[in-house]
Chain A
Amino acid sequence: MMLSRTADHLFWMARQMERAENLARLLDVSLAVSMLPQSRGGSADIAAPLALTGMLETYLDRHDAIDARRVLHFMAYDSANPASILSSLKAARDNAHAVRGKITAEMWMSINATWLEARELAAAGGDFQGFFDWVKERSHLFRGATHGTCQRTDAFSFIRLGTYLERADNTARLLDVKSQLLGREDDDSPDYHAWSALLRAVGAFEAYHALYRDALSGRRVAELLLLRPDMPRSLRACFDEIRKWLERLESDNGRPAKRLATELQAALAYSTVDEIFAEGLHPYLTRMLGDIDRLGGTVQRAYLEAA
């Protein structure tokens, strides 16, 4: 049992931190793809991250043209952009600040130091690659501090829920941006460089080769990131976790959230990649994103806004 508001702050603290990390991954893959020549699957469409975060219009209000450096700056360092990495880190830190007494000193120190340093890095406007790596590292550090010091009470469950709901959403988006970048969403073509950039962005490049020992294909990458329970960023793994952490929360008010999470987890556990491609990757991901959003809303109503 804990205050609904406290649970809300913990949940969003974890979500915003995870969001910052995933945005770093998304921008990383965009940066890599934008450097590829067109013939190798490269794309000048650096606007994809803007579209995915719903910030395209805001960007165009302030900048006249889509320009790789400016887009990256806008999405990474711009505090006036509520969807930037910097803004996410600030939101994560502000949520932590509001529940200072409910997280361990080490968690607080980690998240606070991240924000303080991010502010400086953003002001200096240094190289993007280095910043993305740093963001991922700080996210790992915070997750480690949480895992290593946080008492296993409901607080921990809400933190984990936030992490995995956000990650599920982000993995689905990441895969979607890639399939859209290629413009051939149901295709198996060997766009080696583009797919490998994606796999590297989610840290799954080695796993792919260990598992399939074969050329990169969209179908297998999709299987890896959607259905494999042993891939920590796959949708399936995220839903296994979401279901597990929801089940740990006692009390009846969470029944709608638990039921929905169980349905979605079962759907992933008993799907095949062929079925997904028969539906079309993009339509499938669009439907998943809707479901994830619906689940987030249900969790919000069940626990975080309890009247």
Chain B
Amino acid sequence: MHALTLPERGHFDEMLLQSGAVRSQYQGFSEWLQAQSPEVLHRKREEANQLFHRVGITFSVYGDDAGAERLIPFDTIPRIVPAAEWQTLEVGLKQRVRALNAFLHDIYHDHEIVKAGVIPAGPVFGNAQYQPMMQDVDLPDRIYAHIAGVDIIRHADGGCYVLEDNLRVPSGVSYMLENRKMMMRLFPELFARHAVAPVDHYPALLLDTLRKASRVANPTVVVLTPGHFNSAYFEHAFLAQQMGVELVEGRDLFVRDDHVYMRTTAGHKRVDVIYRRIDDTFLDPLAFRPDSLLGVPGLMSVYRQGKVVLTNAIGTGVADDKSIYPYVPAMIRFYLDEEPILSNVETWLCREPEQLDYVLRHLPELVVKEVHGAGGYGMLIGPAATRAEIDAFRARLIADPAGYIAQPTLCLSSCPTFVEGGIAPRHIDLRPFVLSSGQDIKLVAGGLTRVALKAGSLVVNSSQGGGTKDTWVLED
């Protein structure tokens, strides 16, 4: 038997009801768990740790001199999603990403949605992520976000909500793949007892998506990384290897006669598709930051002529910006003439005076985020903050209201997790990865489940002490 802490009243737990009864999708797992001795499970966790360390699945933490590389903690209790629930999520995700791509095409062409008054011009064209140079650039199949990582949470009411659409360079998919490999290695018997939808074909789907992104027949695809000091370098190398394409840095590429080439031991080779894991502004020192050494001088000029494809496209950041997020349901209705399947989290835009007023009066209950923030930095979690922290944040908010949005403090659902002294509920979210091409939108069943390892914490980001779990979508 394991010391199992029950979820708190009013919280939603993926495995347990308040009474301690087990939800049906966890029935098999729970029986298995109770039959294991704590010592064996402990040993398995140690084994996982060692294996991850040896394989070098580590990430760099910025501003941490001592431990340039750290292991992301991995929890061996999976997050299990029933088949029916996944089907709804999958349809909803495809719908959402289709609308977001339509939105991106629109705001870089005819601006219909703004003209129709569905979205105000300010947060679109005044957005730091909006790239005027993309106006009237025609992309193959009108796809901007070929790879999207959509963050989904389940609230205490049991419903799933989209928290964030990551359309720039979403990361984490390598952990999804490695976590599954690890679980299959540690607990093969569990996979004999459960029909878990596979995820290991993700690299093949990704390569297919990247190849279809080009109009060239049999295109040469590369992965562009900022280099091995980047926090997600492992993932860049991993994906390039799994797809069998070159992992390049900016200095490996150069522009000549309106094409992009890579430097090889046998001379130059033309490049058609660049799966870039570098932010827009670092891609080309001639077009963006002149001090950037990561990019390729002249790349933008080739890109705008359609002689090379960048995935994701330039300027996608405007669509996943927190100030645009509240309008995504309206986008779905506008472009697709459909009702949104996935819900948004209620959001107050602080740049609107009445909404700011409400936010200022309710700070202790709300979560306030920087519009351009990411990685769990620069946010206020009202209920967890001290009086002084709230006052300090209030001042920042009044000084720059347009820089912030606020949301109710969501109670992310929890999942039993190994902690010191047994198994206890910890809050989780889910990031599925959505791949878009002209023909279709695909995703593997599941995604990356992130878990906040500190009791009560709602911050799941790996840079803030979060861990990960394997995600099982059960097949019917």
Contacts and interface: CB of A to CB of B under 8 A. Distances in A.
B150 interface: no
Contacts of B246: 2-3, 6
B263 A4 contact: yes
Contacts of A193: none
Interface stretch (B193-201, B233-241, B282-290): B233-241
Contact of B265 (A2, A97, A102): A2
Identify whether the interface residues of A are mostly helix, strand, loop, or mixed.
helix
Interface in A163-220: none
A179 B148 CA distance: 65
Contacts of A102: 241, 247
B238 A154 contact: no
B140 interface: no
Interface string B252-290: 100000000011111101000000000000000000000
B232 to A, nearest CB: 13
Interface stretch (A24-32, A55-63, A122-130, A247-255): A247-255
Contact of B228 (A4, A6, A97, A250): A97
Contacts of A303: 265
Nearest to A306: B263
Nearest to A307: B263
A112 B262 contact: no
Contacts of A250: 266
A3 B267 contact: no
Contacts of A99: 237, 247
Nearest to A110: B54
Given A3-B248, A5-B249, A105-B55, A251 B267 contact: yes
Interface string A89-107: 0000010011111100100
Contacts of B227: 98
A109 B55 CA distance: 6
B265 A306 contact: yes
A154 B265 contact: yes
B51 to A, nearest CB: 9
A1 interface: yes
Contact of A251 (B241, B262, B266): B266
Interface string B140-178: 000000000000000000000000000000000000000
A254 to B, nearest CB: 8
A36 interface: no
Given A5-B251, A109-B54, A306-B264, A101 B237 contact: yes
Interface residues of A, number: 29
B238 A101 contact: yes
Contact of A101 (B55, B247, B264): B247
Given A101-B241, A101-B247, A112 B54 contact: yes
B438 interface: no
B252 A3 contact: yes
Contact of A108 (B56, B233, B249, B265): B56
A102 B264 CA distance: 14
A251 B265 contact: yes
Contacts of A94: 228
A199 B227 CA distance: 43
Contacts of A112: 54, 56
A100 B237 contact: yes
Nearest to A112: B56
Contacts of B267: 251, 253, 306
Contacts of B265: 1-4, 7, 154, 158, 249, 251, 253, 303-304, 306
B264 A4 contact: yes
A109 B251 CA distance: 27
B238 to A, nearest CB: 7
A52 interface: no
Given A101-B240, A102-B241, A1 B56 contact: no
Nearest to B268: A306
Nearest to A109: B54
Nearest to B244: A101
A154 B56 CA distance: 25
Interface in A112-162: 112-113, 154, 158
B56 A100 contact: yes
Contacts of A253: 265-267
Interface in A236-271: 249-251, 253
A158 B247 CA distance: 18
B52 to A, nearest CB: 11
A198 to B, nearest CB: 36
Interface in A274-307: 303-304, 306-307
Contacts of A98: 227-228
Q: Closest 3 CB pairs between A and B?
A: A101-B241, A251-B266, A101-B237
Given A5-B263, A108-B56, A306-B264, 13 more contacts: A1-B265, A1-B266, A2-B246, A2-B265, A3-B263, A3-B265, A4-B263, A100-B56, A101-B247, A109-B54, A109-B55, A251-B266, A253-B266
27 contacts: A2-B246, A2-B265, A3-B246, A3-B248, A3-B262, A3-B264, A3-B265, A4-B252, A4-B265, A5-B252, A5-B263, A94-B228, A97-B56, A97-B228, A100-B228, A100-B238, A100-B241, A102-B241, A102-B247, A109-B55, A109-B56, A249-B265, A250-B266, A253-B265, A303-B265, A306-B265, A307-B263
